[in-house]
Structure 1
Amino acid sequence: MAGKRPAPAAMLLVLLAAAFAPISSAVRPVSDAHRSAAAELFAPSADGSFGDLESTYEAVRTFQILGLENYKSLSGKACKFAAENLASPGSTAKDLFHAVRISGVLGCGDDARVYDGVVAKLKAVIKDTNSLLEFYYSVGGLLSIKEQGHNVVLSDAESTFHAIKALSQSDGRWRYDTNSAESSTFAAGIALEALAGIVSLADAEVDPSMVGVVKNDIVKLFDTIKSYDDGTFYFDEKHVDATEYKGPIKTSASVLQGVTSFAAVVSGKLNIPAEKILGLAKFFLGIGLPGSAKDCFNQIESLSFLENNRVFVPLILSLPSKVFSLTSKDQLKVEVTTVFGSAAPSLKVNLVQVLGSDSKVITSENKELQYDLDNKVHYLDIAPLKIDVGKYSIVFEISLQEPEHETVYVTGGRNTESVIVTGLIKVNKAEIGISDNDAGTVESVQKLDLLKDTKVSLSAYHLQKLRLSFQLTTPLGHTFKPHQVFLKLKHESKVEHLFVVPGSARQFKIVLDFLGLVEKFYYLSGRYDLELAVGDAAMENSFLRPVGHLELDLPEAPEKAPRPPAQAVDPFSKFGPKAEISHIFRAPEKRPPKELSLAFMGLTLLPFIGFLIGLVRLGVNLKNFPSLPGPAAFASLFHAGIGAVLLLYVLFWLKLDLFTTLKYLGFLGIFLVFVGHRTLSYLSSVSTKQKTA
C-alpha cells in the first residue's frame, strides 16, 4: 500500500468503520417503531380516505392490531364508504367482502336488512361459481357477518367444501379454478381460509374424513416450505408468473393465515413441526420495518394470527443490547416474549455455551439466568464467565416451567445470538528508533506512550531503517489483534504513504527500509509526519494519534524517476472567498455653467410663447364649442387628450425613455383618433346644417 495516497482522513474513516462495525440484525418483537411506520404508510389522503375498499380495510385492520387510535377518528368516513358499497346493487363479492370486514373492525352497526341482502347475494355467488377467489370472498364475507352477531348459516356447506377441495393438488397447493393449469401456494392459503369459514358456517358437522384429508394437504404444503441457514422459514411460489406471482411475504402470509384459521375450527392437532412455525415468525419479524403498506399489513396481520393461533405460539428470544462492555461491567440481558412483546409464560433460560468468532468453545457452563420481574428480562453477570473482548456466539436454552399450560408455546430449543464484548486495550512497550541498514545497530530508540500525546523527533538517511514496535493486551492479559493497524508517513508536500503494521503472537512490529522505498517516496527528502492508527470494534480506546516527525534525507532523483502524484484539489475551495476586485470609475466630464443651461432652457420655451401669441392674433374663441352634453363631453376629452400628449412630451424630457414614451403615445393616439373623430363629425354636421339653412 506504500506510495498510494489515500483520501484525506482515510484512516479515521477506517477506524470509525471498525469501531461501529454492524452486528447481525436481531429478531425483535413488534415495537413502537412498527406503529410509527404503520401510521406513516397508511396516512389518509386530504379528504380522510384510504383509497379503495381493500386499502381501507388493510389500514383500519393494521391500526386495530397495533392498538393505534387513528382508525377510530376516521371511522365515520370509512363506515359510510362501506355502507355505500353494501347497499350498491353493482357491488361484487370482493367489494362486499372488504366492506363487511371494515364494518366488523370499526363496529359500524349497519342495518340488519342491508346485511340480509348481502347474505343472499353472497350465497348466490357460492352456488354459481367455480372460482376459488369467489368462494374465498363470499365465504369470508358471510363469516364476517356472522362474527358481528347476525345469524348466518350455510345449508349446503359440505357440497361447497367438496367444490373447493376439488381444486387441490397432490403437493398441497391449490388451483384458482377448474381451468387453471398451474397450482399456487398463495391459492392454498386462501383455500384453507375459505374451508375454515365453511366449517364455521355449516349447520352440521363437515365430513371428518374430508377434514382429515385437508390436514394431510397441510402437511404436504409444509414440506414445500423454504428456509435460510439461520432457521428462518418462508413460502414462495413454485412457478414464477407475472400474473400470479405474489412474492414471499404475501405468499407466506396467505398460507399462515389459512393454516391457523383452519386449525382454529377443527378438532385435533395439525402435524406441523414446531420449528417451522417459529421459523415463519422469524421471517415476518426479520422483515423489520416494511417499505410498503401492503407488506406492512401482511406482516402485522400474520403476526397477529401467530399470536392467537392454537397450533403453536412462538416465543422470541432477543437481546436488548448486543454490545457488552467489560469496563462498565454490563449484564447479559435476555428478553423472551411473544411476537407482539406480550409477557411470556413462566420460563427458564439457561446459558449453555459461548463460542468465539472461530466457533471455538470459550465456555460451556449451563448457567441459569436470573429473572428481573420489574423489567421482565433475564440477566446474568458476564464477569464470572471470564469472557475477554471480541466477538462471540452465545447459545441459550429456553424451557417452559409450566409444561401443562393450555396454550402450546414453541421456544425453538436452543437459540444462538451474536454479541460483541468490548473493553479497554492496554498498549505496552511501545518503541520507535532508527537503525543502520547493514548491521542493524540501533542509533536512537525512544519510548512512546501511545495513549497520550507524546511526540518524537527523528532523523535518518536512505541507508537506515525506521523501526516501530508495541504490544496490545486485553483486560484479561491476552494478546489482542485489532482489525486495523496502520502507520502513515505524510511528507511536507502533502504526499502520503500508508503501511500495514504486521502483528505476531507477541507484538506488532514494522521495519521501513528507506533504501528499498526511495522510489515509492519519489526521492522526496524533508520532513515526514508520523501517524499511527489502531482500531477494532471491540476496542473501546481505538486511536489515531500523531507520534512525531522524521527528517529524511534521500538521494537526488534520477532523470527517469517517478514523479509525485498531483495533489487532489479540494472540491470546496471554489466556495471560498475570492480576491478583492479594485475598480476606479472614470472622472466625470466637465459640465457647462448653470447660467448657460438656464438660458438655453429659456430659448426652448420661446416657440411655445410664439404659439400662444399666434392663437391670440388669429382670434381663437369657444363659440363653436358644442353645447349638447354628448358632443361637449367628446370635445372635452379631445382637448384633454391633446394636453396629455403635451404632458407626455414633458415627462419624456424629464424622466421617461423613448420606448416607454412611444408605448404611452400609442394608447393616447388611439384615444385621440376616436374622440377627435366624434368631435369633428359633430362640427361638420352642424356646419352643413347652417349652410343648408
Structure 2
Amino acid sequence: MGTESVWCAFFVSLLLFAITECVTPFLNNYLDASARNSLNAVFLSAIESDQLSAIHHGLAGLELAGIPIDANKNQVLCGRVKKVNNKELVQLYHALSAANVLKDCALSVPNARETVEAVLKQDPIISQNLYFALAVASYLKLKVDYDSFSKALTSALAKDDGVMSLAYGLNAATFLDIKTAEKFSVRIEDLIGQADEVDGRFLVLEGGLSITAFGVHGIYSLADKLNKSPNVKSDEAVKLANYLLSRRNVQSYRDAHLLLLTLKKFASNSFQIPVVFSLASEMSIDTSKPLVIRVSNVLGESVGPLSVTLDTATHTASKEVVASRKALKQLASDKTSTLYEMSIENAKQRGFYKIVFTAGSQDKRVVGTNGASLMVKVMTKVRIENVTLAVFDRELVKPSSPISVKEGSKLGKILEADVHSKMEIRFKITEARTGETIVVHQTFVAFVHQVTHQEIIFVATPDANRGYVFDVDFEKVAKDFEGLSGRYTVRLIVGDAAISYAFDWNLVDVNLRLPSLPSQKIKKSERVVYEKLPEIKHTFREPEKRPPQTVSNTFVFLCAFPLLIVLILWLRIGINFGNLPASPFVLVFHGGLIGIFGLYFVFWIRLTMFETLKYLSLVGAVTFFSGNRLLRILAAKRK
C-alpha cells in the first residue's frame, strides 16, 4: 500500500509539472524601433503643450529615450516651468521634474519646505500627495523627517490599500532611508495580489497601463533600494512585462513615459529580468535558409551569454515533430549579441510549425526562459502539371481529344463554345522539390470578358487522386454570365498560405455565344438608384380662407356680449374690492387671466396655433401658480 501511494504521488507531481510547463508564460515582443519611434513622437508632441504635466512627462520620456533637447527649445520650456505656483504641490512636482531634465534651469522655491510639510497636516493623508512631497524634497535636496513621513505613509496605506494608493506608496517609500523604507516591502505582495490575470498571459492592475507601470516601477525600485528580492514570482513578472509590451504603441504622454520608465527598470533591475524570444527573420521561411531568432530583454538588448536550445519543432496540422533538443548558434556577424540561428531541414511538409525554445543563463536574474514558443511558416514552391483542356458537346461524358498546355504558356488558338458545349480543365499541383501531388487552399477558374472585364469565377475541386477537375456546362451557367456573349479570357488561379508564390495563369481565350436573357422588370423596392433624389420638404396644410370681416366682427361681438352683461351686473350689484387680500398675487392672477384672453384675441387675428401654445404655456404657468397662492390666502383669511 505504501508503494502504491508513492507511485500515485509521483504521477500527480509529474502531471502538475506537465501542466505547469504548458501554461508557462513567455514573451514574444520587445520595444522595437517602430514602438520607440511612436513613443518619441508622443514625447515631442507633449513638450509643445502648455500644461506642466505634459511638459514633465514629455521631457522625462525624451531623456529616457536619449533624445537631446534643442537649446532654443530648452530656454522656452525653462521659461514656462519657472512660472509655476510654488504653493501648489502637484504643479511644483511637475515643474521640478521638468527642470531636472532641462539644462541650466534651476528653480528657486523659497517656501518649498512649508509646501512639503503641509502634506503631513492634511486630513485625510493620501499616499499620492506623500509621493509628490517626497519627490519635491528629493529634487530640492531638502532634509525631511523620515519618521513623520513613514508614519503618515503607514496611516495612508492602512486607510486605503487600493492599487493606486499602494502604487504611489511603494514609489514614495523609495525616497525614505533604507531603515524606514524596509517595512513597506511587505506591501509588494498586497499590490501583486490585486492584479487581474487576462488570458493566462497578462497581469494588469485596476486603472490600466499607468497604474500598472507605476506600481511595477515602485516594486523594483524599492527592491533595488533595499537590495532585497521582491515577493514577485517569475511567472508574475513575465505576465506584467507582457502586458506592458502589449501597450507599447500607447499615445498618452503620461502612459508613454511610465511605460518606458518601467521597461527600463525591467531591463536593468537587480532581481528579475524577463527574456523575450522573437523572430528576427521573416515568419515565412524556406528550408534552405536558417531561422534567426532574437533573445533579448524587453528593450531588445542583450541579457548576457545564453545557451539557447530548440526543444521541439512540431507541424501544427499533422503534429509531426521534425526536430528536438537542438542547440542554436549565436550569429557571428551580430554586434548586439542577441541573434541566434538554426536550420530545420527535416521540415518537409509545408505549413505552420510551432517551435519551442529554452534558454539557459548563469545570471539568476533572467526569467521567462522555459517553454517559449514561436510560429513559423515553411514555404514551398509548386508546379502545375498535366494541364489539359477541352470544349466538347454537352451530351458527351468526357472529351475525345483534350489539348495539353505547358505550364506558364497560353494556348495558341481561340476555342469556340455555346450553350450546347461543356468545358473541362484537368491539372495536378505538385511540390517542385519532391514531386509529391498536393492539395492547395485556393484553386479558381475565372472567365473574364475582354471588353466589359466582367468576371465569373468558379471553384476547381480535387478528386480522390488529388488531381483537379473543372468542368462547366454553359447551358446551366448561362444565367451567371448574364447572357453576355463575346471573347473571354480563361485564367487559372492557384494560391495557398504555404506556397512561395501564387499562380494567375492566362490559360486560353474562349469565344462564347450565349442567348440573351429576357429583360426582367425590377421591383421598385429592389431598384438601385444612383441619381440624387429630390429633397423631401415638409409643408403644413394651407390655412383655410378667412370669412368676411362682417361675419368676424359679428362673431367677436357675440363672444364679448356675455362679458358685457357680467360687467353691467357687477355695476348694478356692486363689487366689494375691500374683500380682496393685499397681496401681489391678486394682481398677477388677474393680470394672467387678462393676458390669456388677450392671447386668444391675438390668436384670432394673427398668431398660428403653435405660436399661441408657446406663449400660452408661459402665461398659463404664471397664472396657475399665482391663482394657487391666491386661493391659499383666501382660505387662510376665512379661517
Among residues 311, 332, 352, which one is paired with 1:391 in the alignment?
A: 352
Among residues 174, 179, 190, which one is paired with 1:217 in the alignment?
A: 190
1:42–1:293 CA contact under 8 A, matched in 2: yes
Among residues 93, 97, 101, which one is paired with 2:97 in the alignment?
A: 101
1:421–1:538 CA contact under 8 A, matched in 2: yes
Correspondence 1:482 to 2:453: no
Q: Aligned-pair distance for 1:428?
A: 1.4
Q: Distance in 1 between matches of 2:121 and 2:342?
A: 66
Q: Aligned-pair distance for 1:44?
A: 6.0
CA deviation string 1:567-603 (max 9, x = no partner) = x9999xxxxxxxxxxxxxxxxxxxxxxxxxxxxxxxx
Q: Distance in 1 between matches of 2:318 and 2:64?
A: 41
- Give unmatched runs, 5+ long, in structure 1: 1-25, 175-184, 238-247, 572-693
Query: 1:623 aligns to what?
Result: none
Correspondence 1:134 to 2:104: no
Q: Distance in 2 between matches of 1:258 and 1:297?
A: 14
Among residues 289, 296, 306, which one is paired with 1:337 in the alignment?
A: 296
Among residues 516, 526, 531, which one is paired with 2:476 in the alignment?
A: 516
Q: Aligned-pair distance for 1:549?
A: 1.6
Distance verdict in 2 for CA 1:339–1:484, change over 3 Å: same
Distance verdict in 2 for CA 1:429–1:127, change over 3 Å: same
Query: 1:471 aligns to what?
Result: 428
Among residues 104, 116, 122, which one is paired with 2:116 in the alignment?
A: 122
Query: 2:387 aligns to what?
Result: 430
Distance verdict in 2 for CA 1:213–1:28, change over 3 Å: closer
Q: Aligned-pair distance for 1:331?
A: 1.6
Distance verdict in 2 for CA 1:259–1:364, change over 3 Å: same
Query: 2:51 aligns to what?
Result: 52
SS of structure 2 residue aligned to 1:40: helix
Q: Distance in 2 between matches of 1:38 and 1:558?
A: 61
Q: Aligned-pair distance for 1:424?
A: 2.0
Distance verdict in 2 for CA 1:287–1:267, change over 3 Å: closer
Q: Distance in 1 between matches of 2:295 and 2:517?
A: 71
Q: Aligned-pair distance for 1:41?
A: 2.5
Q: Aligned-pair distance for 1:274?
A: 1.3
Q: Aligned-pair distance for 1:257?
A: 2.1
Q: Aligned-pair distance for 1:292?
A: 3.6
Among residues 274, 278, 303, which one is paired with 2:263 in the alignment?
A: 303
Q: Distance in 2 between matches of 1:44 and 1:316?
A: 30
Distance verdict in 2 for CA 1:472–1:197, change over 3 Å: same
Query: 2:10 aligns to what?
Result: none
Q: Distance in 2 between matches of 1:269 and 1:286?
A: 26
1:90-489 correspondence to structure 2 within 5 Å: 91-106=87-102, 108=104, 110=106, 114=108, 117-129=111-123, 130-146=125-141, 151-169=143-161, 174=162, 185-199=163-177, 204-205=179-180, 210-211=183-184, 213-221=186-194, 224-228=195-199, 231-237=201-207, 248-266=208-226, 268-326=228-286, 329-358=288-317, 360-375=319-334, 376-400=337-361, 402=362, 405=363, 408-474=365-431, 475-489=433-447
1:584-603 correspondence to structure 2 within 5 Å: none
Distance verdict in 2 for CA 1:191–1:358, change over 3 Å: farther
Q: Aligned-pair distance for 1:338?
A: 1.5
1:534–1:542 CA contact under 8 A, matched in 2: yes
Q: Distance in 2 between matches of 1:71 and 1:301?
A: 22
Identity of aligned residues (%): 19
Q: Aligned-pair distance for 1:27?
A: 4.5
Query: 2:498 aligns to what?
Result: 538
Q: Aligned-pair distance for 1:108?
A: 4.4
Distance verdict in 2 for CA 1:387–1:531, change over 3 Å: same
Q: Distance in 2 between matches of 1:394 and 1:468?
A: 40
Q: Aligned-pair distance for 1:436?
A: 4.2
Query: 1:608 aligns to what?
Result: none
1:434–1:467 CA contact under 8 A, matched in 2: yes
What letter matches 2:444 in structure 1? F
Q: Aligned-pair distance for 1:43?
A: 3.0
**Most deviating of 417-426 and 102-111:** 102-111
What letter matches 1:390 in structure 2? G
Distance verdict in 2 for CA 1:477–1:272, change over 3 Å: farther
1:435–1:464 CA contact under 8 A, matched in 2: yes
Q: Distance in 2 between matches of 1:117 and 1:487?
A: 83
CA deviation string 1:218-238 (max 9, x = no partner) = 3422xx322235x2332334x
Distance verdict in 2 for CA 1:38–1:517, change over 3 Å: closer
- Give unmatched runs, 5+ long, in structure 2: 1-26, 523-527, 532-639
2:388–2:425 CA contact under 8 A, matched in 1: yes
**Most deviating of 343-352 and 31-40:** 31-40
What letter matches 1:547 in structure 2? L
CA deviation string 1:636-673 (max 9, x = no partner) = xxxxxxxxxxxxxxxxxxxxxxxxxxxxxxxxxxxxxx
Q: Aligned-pair distance for 1:486?
A: 1.4
Distance verdict in 2 for CA 1:456–1:279, change over 3 Å: farther
1:644-659 correspondence to structure 2 within 5 Å: none
CA deviation string 1:109-137 (max 9, x = no partner) = 737xx467423420232343413332221
Correspondence 1:529 to 2:489: yes
Q: Aligned-pair distance for 1:370?
A: 0.3
Q: Aligned-pair distance for 1:162?
A: 1.8
Query: 1:21 aligns to what?
Result: none
**Most deviating of 311-320 and 373-382:** 373-382
Q: Aligned-pair distance for 1:276?
A: 2.3
What letter matches 1:399 in structure 2? G
CA deviation string 1:593-618 (max 9, x = no partner) = xxxxxxxxxxxxxxxxxxxxxxxxxx
For this pair of structures, how many residues does the alignment match? Answer: 495
Q: Distance in 2 between matches of 1:331 and 1:476?
A: 20
1:307–1:314 CA contact under 8 A, matched in 2: yes
CA deviation string 1:346-397 (max 9, x = no partner) = 1111122223343723424111100124313444343523344323322222
Q: Aligned-pair distance for 1:277?
A: 1.6
Distance verdict in 2 for CA 1:383–1:414, change over 3 Å: closer
2:167–2:191 CA contact under 8 A, matched in 1: no
Q: Distance in 2 between matches of 1:456 and 1:392?
A: 45
Question: Which structure has the larger Rg over C-alpha atoms?
Answer: 1
Distance verdict in 2 for CA 1:44–1:392, change over 3 Å: closer
Q: Distance in 2 between matches of 1:110 and 1:34?
A: 33
What letter matches 1:413 in structure 2? N
SS of structure 2 residue aligned to 1:299: helix
Alpha-carbon RMSD across the aligned residues, in angstroms, is: 3.4
Tell me: higher relative CO, structure 1 or 2? Use CA pairs within 8 A at least 6 residues apart: 1
What letter matches 2:206 in structure 1? D
Distance verdict in 2 for CA 1:538–1:416, change over 3 Å: same
Q: Aligned-pair distance for 1:42?
A: 3.0
1:64–1:71 CA contact under 8 A, matched in 2: no
Q: Aligned-pair distance for 1:84?
A: 4.4
What letter matches 2:324 in structure 1? E
1:650-689 correspondence to structure 2 within 5 Å: none
Q: Distance in 2 between matches of 1:198 and 1:71?
A: 35
SS of structure 1 residue aligned to 2:30: coil
SS of structure 1 residue aligned to 2:44: coil
Q: Aligned-pair distance for 1:492?
A: 5.3
Distance verdict in 2 for CA 1:561–1:382, change over 3 Å: farther
SS of structure 2 residue aligned to 1:51: coil
1:350–1:368 CA contact under 8 A, matched in 2: yes
CA deviation string 1:450-474 (max 9, x = no partner) = 3344555323343432111222222
What letter matches 2:212 in structure 1? S
What letter matches 1:188 in structure 2? L
TM-score by length of 2: 0.69
